[in-house]
């Protein structure tokens, strides 16, 4: 008798979040992303995907160091009448980004969020927060090498 061996590689995400005020529409955020030279294509998300916290877009990046992982940008209306925009990179534990790739991911994420801020809510603060997500709260060091 042969016993099948089943393995599972955990999924992780690195998220970059920015709050925009006054609250712009998600349509404005999508149009700003599509106009960015860093973005090859923008399409709608097909549903609630891992690491996302609201409606949004699937984004294909032109930068090969920052873009081999699935990338999404979601938006969520917050109780204080702001819009939290989150750019999420997802990856398997076995295919985690290197320190150099994480630095590039952070740079591209911050550029895209700055593009959305400038187009949709230019008076918003430019602060971006980085968070790890996934198994046991995310992968250790997900944000450690991110440019601050």
- Would you kindly state where each structural domain of the chain is located, as residue ranges? 11-137
* pTM of full prediction above 0.85: no
Instruction: Please state which CATH number belongs to domain 11-137.
Output: 3.30.310
Tokens of 1: 């008798």
Helices (H), the chain: 26-35, 99-120
Q: pLDDT tens-digit profile of 44-57? A: 887 655 545 567 89
- Closest among 133, 109, 128 to 33, alpha carbons compared: 109
Is residue 8's pLDDT more than 60? yes
Q: pLDDT tens-digit profile of 71-130? A: 889 888 889 999 999 998 888 777 778 888 888 889 999 999 999 999 999 999 999 999
Q: Residues for the chain: how many in total? A: 148
In the DSSP assignment, the letter for residue 22 is S
């Amino acid at each position: 008798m042969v016993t099948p061996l089943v393995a599972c590689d955990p999924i992780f995400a690195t998220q970059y979040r920015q709050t925009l005020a006054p609250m712009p529409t998600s349509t404005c955020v999508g149009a700003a992303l599509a106009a960015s030279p860093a973005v090859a294509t923008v399409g709608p998300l097909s549903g609630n995907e891992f690491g996302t916290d609201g409606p949004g877009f699937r984004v294909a990046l032109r930068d090969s160091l920052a873009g081999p992982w699935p990338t999404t940008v979601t938006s969520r209306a917050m109780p204080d009448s702001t819009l939290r925009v989150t750019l999420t990179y997802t990856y398997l534990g076995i295919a985690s980004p290197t320190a150099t790739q994480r630095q590039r991911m952070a740079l591209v994420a911050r550029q895209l969020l700055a593009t959305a801020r400038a187009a949709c809510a230019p008076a918003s603060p430019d602060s971006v927060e980085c968070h790890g997500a996934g198994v046991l709260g995310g992968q250790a060091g997900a944000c450690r090498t991110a440019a601050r």
